[in-house]
Amino acid sequence: MSDAIQHVLVPGTFDPITYGHMDVVRRARRICPHVTVAVAESLGKNGVGTTFSLEERVALAREALDGLDGVDVLPFTGLLVDFAREVDAQGVVKGLRAMTDFEYELQQADLNYRLNPRLESMFVMSAPEYGYLSSSVVRQLASMGGDVSDFVPACVTEALHERFM
C-alpha cells in the first residue's frame, strides 16, 4: 500500500520529558516504523516561556529515549504541518489523559487537517499510571524540592535538581 504511514511525529514542548511522554513515544513506535519526537520551541508557553531552553529539552529527550530503535528527536519552530512536510512525516500521534486533553487536541487536529489534509492525526490513551502526570506538575514538584524520580528519567531528575537548587 503506497500511502501507508511510515513516519509519525510525537510533538510537544517536553519541558521536561516525562515517563508519560516516553510511553506515548513507545506506543507510537509500535504503530509506525519511524517516530520523530518533535520538540517545539514554544517561546510563549503559558505566557512565561519554558523552564529549559529548546537545546536543553532536545538533549534531555535524546538521552531519555536513547536506545529506542526507529526514534529520533528533532527541534522545530513554526507550524507543525510545515515541519511534518520538511521531515516527510505522514502522521501525528498525541497522548490523551483526560477530556480536557481531547478537546484541545481535537482543535489542533482539525486545524492541522485544514492546513494539510494528508497529515493523519492519531491519539493514544494515557496508560493509567501516567494519567495524572504532566510536565507542569513535575516542574512544580521539583521547584518545591520534591522527589520527581518516579515521574521522569534520571537525566531529567538531575537537570531539574540543578535548575531549582
Catalytic residue set: 21, 45, 97, 135
For 31, the 3-state DSSP assignment is helix
**Count of residues making up the chain:** 165
Q: What DSSP string runs through 39-108?
A: EE--TTGGGT--SS-HHHHHHHHHHHHTT-TTEEEEEE-S-HHHHHHHHT--EEEEEE-SHHHHHHHHHH
Those residues whose C-beta lies under 8 Å from the C-beta of residue 3, and which sit 6 or more positions away, are: 90
For 145, the 3-state DSSP assignment is coil
